[in-house]
Structure 1
Amino acid sequence: MEPPQQAQQPAPQSPPPAQPPSGGYVSMASTTARPRGGRTACGPCSRRKIRCDAFEREGQPCSNCEKRGQPDGCTFNDDAPRSGTRRSRASDGATSPSAPRPKKPRPSETAQSVLDGIHAASTTYAAGPPSNGSHGQVPSWGSAVNAPPAIAYPSKSYNVVPGPQPQQQWQPHTTQGPPQHTGYYAPIEPVPYSQPASHDLKDLLPSHKTALRYFEVYKTICHPLYPVIPDLEEFEAAVCQYVEDMSSGRLTYDLASSTGRARAARLSWLALLTATVATGAQYSDLSISERDSFVTDHVRNAQELLRQADYLGRPEENCIGALLLVSRIMENDIMPEAAWSTLGMVGRMADLAGLQEGMNFEEHMDVRVREATNIRHRKLWWSYLWQEYSLALCFGKTSMVQVTHEEPPVRSANNLSYNDCMLLLCKLAISARPDPTAERSSLKTEIDALATARHLHEKALPRLADRANCRTIQDRIEYYSLRISQGFVVSCMSQTLMKACARMGWDQQSKHLQSMCKEGAFDCLQAFVDMQSFSVVPLRTWMFIFSALSSALVLAALSDDTDRPRIQELQRQLLHSLAERDREMELPHRPGLYSRYPKALNFLRDVIQTDANNINGSGKREDGGPPPLGQTSVMSEQQTRDLLDPAVVWTKLFSPKSAGDSYPAQHTTFAR
């Protein structure tokens, strides 16, 4: 049988200048030199068979791609059909010009695209990396466990912008009239959830370079001290795939083609990534103005992504992790009340998602996969409890979260890691809460928990148990972070038990508890002062600042003549460090600690000795200055009792009512 006549002829030349039918391939203008044998139309225009002026615009995207809002997709890909040529396929190394072109599979027969298998960033891949090294077999970021591997990017027509008119680009809503608030989450104009434009989503996502840069900061500094993401290795693999998809332009197309739960799962993972980038930027080396603007924009973008993912109607792991990071960012920007309110919402979401009970409705899953999911849920649940009860200790309140006798996900009873120690401290703080309504109690359980917390570091790794075993900077940072948290928890637990003993008339036990409280507060303050030499973490983490400042106030109430000089030296170093932080990080719309907590800092300054530079020539105290050398402010018995009550200390010295008159209100309107 003779092959078709057109297969025996050589490849035809460029088409004649006559106008082709509408919708067909349109050649380039004759005035522009064309590359011999190369593409003269971009991939999207070739797939749609419309006229393209990409070659005439000298490296700029064609007008069709700009009108569709897809300038990044204007590339000369090989997957689009070529006009005027026939591509022949060779088999077994032999070339045959008459070989028939293989039939192209229909779009319904192609495998899932790069992002179609996503469920959550915390799921694991079913198989390892491909053995042949081809890019088409790389699992998609955040793909499901049993999802099939994605093939090369399929060639099809993408209706990126639905409808005849493109949607308006997403813009944060800003009020025109006074007052102008500079909060994190400005109200956002409602956007239809069913058909959001792809270019709107792209504007909300961090670029591939930004994601790589600040994820590395998060991985190095933030995650070791506050591990919100249960499986960081899995998440990092997903970030790498995200970077490839973002740089190649696949991400925009795949997001536009997804709907329903798959789309919501992708958006929740993207919200977690954006919150991770914002958290890393908060500890980066950017200037304060650049850092504040960058973090504010990305937190707002994370909230918008969560809104489009319906995070209240479909609470799941990635939404909860993103909100935990957002609440920690609010803490560090001196908005702990907003973080406390956010955590109340996160607790309800975690309960609905079944994190505490380890619920799993996918009964067909493999036993190992189900167990891994259960462990991941427990880690995320205890990360939430960690932050919840830390703020509860600061406010002197009892958390509304009901915790059973479930043990935290600790690997072993000995050689505890930093994360294991922090989870055990959280468990001990929960169990050491005596019942305030009990008239008489032995307090045995609470006192045993306090003793365990005091000696917890002895069961940790050698580098966490003794500073002499620290060999790297990271070892020292984790050592000091553990001592700050351990000393603060021991001090707060001792103060709570002291109130119970005083109510029962146990004076001897109260004296022992005062000694433990003083020891814990001193360890916390000493570790905070020492940690500043190694890292920016203590002065950018609100929880560490409050722990050190409240410990300094406790030591002011419990110090005596033997240890007062040593304690006052640490208190002076603390005040000096906080003043330096305010000079470097204060902004007009976000004042520093001396404007937010003036009563606490002024009270601490008034009860310690200061140098002679603050004394005038008459030897008298200047207005607003510290007392002269050799004189110590004597506190009344009532002031001493107040300083040993966390709830009273927060109400009188740290609450928003005690802030300075010049301190502006911080508005945090969540995305709807």
Structure 2
Amino acid sequence: MGNESAAYPFVDLWSSDPYTFNISGVCSVLPDDEQCRKFLAFYRNIGAVLYPVLPDLDKFERDMDKLLQGRQAAGGVYNPDANGLVKPFGMMSCSYHCLRMLNYVSQPSLEVIQILLIIGSVLSYNMNAGASYTLLGMTERMCMVLGLHVETSGFPRATQAARRRVWWAMAFQNSHFSLAYDRPSITMINQPEIPYDPKSMPGHRGYFETLCRLIQVVLDMLRGLMFTHHTHLRYHEIREYKQRIERIIAEAAPHLKSRERCATLGEHIERTELRLHSSWFISLMCRVSLDPDTPMDEQRREVVREDCLTNLINTIEAFIELHSINSHASRTWISLQRTIASAFLLVANNNDQLHPQTWDLIQKLEAVLSDHVHGDESSDHNSKTDSAKHLASSLHALREVSAAFRARKLRHRVVPKVVPNMQNTSPATSFASPSSTLGSGMPTYSSDQSVSPDGHIDNILNQVSDVMLFPSMSSGNA
């Protein structure tokens, strides 16, 4: 999937010949033992916290130790790759070929689905949303082949919990694509019970089960919209879903609600991620209030609009705090996409009198994105990660959009009667998400093109890299 010219994804670690691969190739491409253990520690402390797919990390570590011992006994030698640390393609190729040797399509298992979910997550980190979504679609079907979408009796308690965990981990990715890119979700039709810990109780719900409960609210919302054929939530529905989310957060463990109760890096990451996702969900439900064409009582509109803007701010604040806790943790694609979309929407709808801190917040976000783009100043442009290259266009667009709106507001203070030409672009809708606003057929603009003082926002947004958009797979556009 990283090599788009190949006829089959991850065909080989070094070539497109499917017959050159064997198990010794896996052993030779894996890092040395010490590096493997460093990567595992990184995954345990950060990666597995951000996306908790594997239910038993201790077992995973034991299995890795057996693999390394077996490689050493067999005389396996690690062959360093100069580009290995720049792009994850080699590691993903290795994982994918191991799956092929297991004949994973014909013989799916929970372990296979866990691996596919992690590979898909890595692909999205590299900002290849189309490939990640395609792989996720196959993974979803494999979940259904195993019957993970329904409660099935006859399994031991540990196996039943693992089945539920895999389904809800998949639903987390699926719900993001569905909400961010307006794609249908198959997870809203049926889902198993949430995998609660046996000792779980209100006030002590863990991170993953709390996240699952939030996803369940979102799936209920999507299901309701589908059955009623409505395009947006009504006022009483917004209040109901918002109250459900607030109750879920209230029942979370103490460290998920208070910085002072966090004792480890993982707990801080869980707290900020939960705040980010819950705030984004509420802002999404309230977003209809930003559309002036939506019929809504003005008093109610103001209440919902304030909730929307407040939670957009909360989303961005949580992401900035996440970056301050650990810069690697803020690289997760779902959190990045939600934060950037929130920033564009907030800038377009900000009221300086109600939210004077917005511009300082946007500047802090720009600094975080700049850190991701220019984090390693010693690297030349060609050696930077794909995500850093693509994120640069989003950073550039955010800076110009912010500057354009601030200049526009300043002119309004000087000449209140002047109405700028926005080229029929509604801020309420244009900034709902950079990915849902633009089409792949729109013209592009060079980064040095000037922006009209009247605020031609379309020109700015078209500078955003295509990977910020979802590929128009079914739009029919050539």
Q: TM-score range by the shorter chain?
A: 0.7 to 0.9
* Structure with a larger share of its residues in helix: 2
Instruction: State the shift of 1:607 in Å.
Output: 4.2
Is 1:492 paired with 2:284?
A: yes
CA distance 1:197–1:542, change in 2 (3 Å): closer
Provide, for residues 198-219 of structure 1, a one-character-per-residue CA deviation record: whole Å limited to 9, x for no partner: 5345335554434322112111
Counterpart AA for 1:403? I
Query: Which structure 2 segments of 5+ residues have no match?
Result: 413-418, 448-464, 469-478
Task: Look up the match of 1:639.
Answer: 426
Is 1:456 paired with 2:220?
A: no
Task: Look up the match of 1:650.
Answer: 435
Provide, for residues 119-148 of structure 1, a one-character-per-residue CA deviation record: whole Å limited to 9, x for no partner: xxxxxxxxxxxxxxxxxxxxxxxxxxxxxx
The answer to whether the 8 Å contact 2:348/2:427 transfers is: yes
The answer to whether the 8 Å contact 2:345/2:432 transfers is: no
Task: Look up the match of 1:216.
Answer: 41
Moved more, 543-552 or 653-662: 653-662
Counterpart AA for 2:313? F
Q: Find the residue that maps to 1:460 and give its secondary structure.
A: coil
| CA distance in 2 between partners of 1:565 and 1:652 (Å) | 27
Q: Find the residue that maps to 1:410 and give its secondary structure.
A: coil
The answer to whether the 8 Å contact 1:356/1:377 transfers is: no
CA distance 1:492–1:635, change in 2 (3 Å): farther
Counterpart AA for 1:310? N
Is 1:533 paired with 2:318?
A: no
Is 1:435 paired with 2:260?
A: no
Instruction: State the shift of 1:535 in Å.
Output: 0.2
Provide, for residues 471-523 of structure 1, a one-character-per-residue CA deviation record: whole Å limited to 9, x for no partner: 44433222212111111121122226877x96554544433322221121111
2:173 to 381, 384, 387: 387
Instruction: State the shift of 1:467 in Å.
Output: 1.9
Instruction: State the shift of 1:382 in Å.
Output: 0.7
| CA distance in 2 between partners of 1:596 and 1:658 (Å) | 19
State which structure, 1 or 2, has the greater radius of gyration over its C-alpha atoms. Answer: 1
Counterpart AA for 2:56? D
Task: Look up the match of 2:373.
Answer: 582
Q: Find the residue that maps to 2:375 and give its secondary structure.
A: helix
Provide, for residues 87-142 of structure 1, a one-character-per-residue CA deviation record: whole Å limited to 9, x for no partner: xxxxxxxxxxxxxxxxxxxxxxxxxxxxxxxxxxxxxxxxxxxxxxxxxxxxxxxx
Alignment of structure 1 residues 187-206 onto 2, 5 Å: 188-191=16-19, 199-203=24-28, 205=30
Task: Look up the match of 1:245.
Answer: 70
Counterpart AA for 1:435? L
CA distance 1:372–1:402, change in 2 (3 Å): same
**Larger relative contact order, structure 1 or 2 (CA cutoff 8 Å, min sep 6):** 2
Task: Look up the match of 1:329.
Answer: 122
Counterpart AA for 1:486? S
| CA distance in 1 between partners of 2:201 and 2:2 (Å) | 52
Q: Find the residue that maps to 1:398 and give its secondary structure.
A: coil
Provide, for residues 297-350 of structure 1, a one-character-per-residue CA deviation record: whole Å limited to 9, x for no partner: 111111111122111111111211111111111111111222111111110111
1:543 to 321, 326, 334: 334
| CA distance in 2 between partners of 1:640 and 1:174 (Å) | 38
| CA distance in 2 between partners of 1:628 and 1:503 (Å) | 25
Moved more, 229-238 or 297-306: 229-238
Query: Which structure 1 segments of 5+ residues have no match?
Result: 1-171, 253-286, 361-366, 611-624, 667-672
For these two proteins, the number of residue pairs brought into alignment is 428
Q: Find the residue that maps to 1:409 and give its secondary structure.
A: coil
| CA distance in 2 between partners of 1:174 and 1:341 (Å) | 15
Q: Find the residue that maps to 2:356 and give its secondary structure.
A: helix
Task: Look up the match of 1:604.
Answer: 398
Is 1:340 paired with 2:133?
A: yes
Instruction: State the shift of 1:439 in Å.
Output: 6.6
Alignment of structure 1 residues 54-69 onto 2, 5 Å: none
Alignment of structure 1 residues 155-194 onto 2, 5 Å: 188-191=16-19
1:397 to 183, 187, 191: 183
Counterpart AA for 2:136? L
The answer to whether the 8 Å contact 1:597/1:653 transfers is: no
Task: Look up the match of 1:147.
Answer: none
Instruction: State the shift of 1:429 in Å.
Output: 1.1
The answer to whether the 8 Å contact 1:208/1:246 transfers is: no
Counterpart AA for 1:232? L
Moved more, 586-595 or 470-479: 586-595
TM-score, with length taken from structure 2: 0.76
| CA distance in 2 between partners of 1:641 and 1:241 (Å) | 55
Moved more, 479-488 or 455-464: 455-464
Instruction: State the shift of 1:229 in Å.
Output: 0.8
Counterpart AA for 1:642? T
Counterpart AA for 1:348? R
| CA distance in 2 between partners of 1:248 and 1:505 (Å) | 71
| CA distance in 2 between partners of 1:207 and 1:484 (Å) | 36
Provide, for residues 593-629 of structure 1, a one-character-per-residue CA deviation record: whole Å limited to 9, x for no partner: 575673x54553234359xxxxxxxxxxxxxx98499
Instruction: State the shift of 1:665 in Å.
Output: 9.0
Task: Look up the match of 2:345.
Answer: 554
2:95 to 302, 326, 338: 302
Task: Look up the match of 2:451.
Answer: none
Task: Look up the match of 1:419.
Answer: 208
Give RMSD over aligned pairs.
4.1
Instruction: State the shift of 1:551 in Å.
Output: 1.2
CA distance 1:571–1:656, change in 2 (3 Å): farther
The answer to whether the 8 Å contact 2:276/2:316 transfers is: yes
CA distance 1:489–1:173, change in 2 (3 Å): closer
Provide, for residues 168-223 of structure 1, a one-character-per-residue CA deviation record: whole Å limited to 9, x for no partner: xxxx9999xxx899x9666642339xxx8653453355544343221121111111
Instruction: State the shift of 1:543 in Å.
Output: 1.6
| CA distance in 2 between partners of 1:497 and 1:459 (Å) | 28
Alignment of structure 1 residues 259-278 onto 2, 5 Å: none
CA distance 1:290–1:450, change in 2 (3 Å): same
Provide, for residues 270-290 of structure 1, a one-character-per-residue CA deviation record: whole Å limited to 9, x for no partner: xxxxxxxxxxxxxxxxx9965
Task: Look up the match of 1:520.
Answer: 311
The answer to whether the 8 Å contact 2:92/2:119 transfers is: yes
The answer to whether the 8 Å contact 2:210/2:249 transfers is: yes
Is 1:466 paired with 2:258?
A: yes
CA distance 1:349–1:587, change in 2 (3 Å): farther
The answer to whether the 8 Å contact 1:532/1:538 transfers is: yes
CA distance 1:565–1:206, change in 2 (3 Å): same
Provide, for residues 46-103 of structure 1, a one-character-per-residue CA deviation record: whole Å limited to 9, x for no partner: xxxxxxxxxxxxxxxxxxxxxxxxxxxxxxxxxxxxxxxxxxxxxxxxxxxxxxxxxx
The answer to whether the 8 Å contact 1:396/1:650 transfers is: no
Task: Look up the match of 2:453.
Answer: none
The answer to whether the 8 Å contact 1:431/1:449 transfers is: no
CA distance 1:403–1:656, change in 2 (3 Å): farther
Instruction: State the shift of 1:236 in Å.
Output: 2.3
Instruction: State the shift of 1:247 in Å.
Output: 2.6
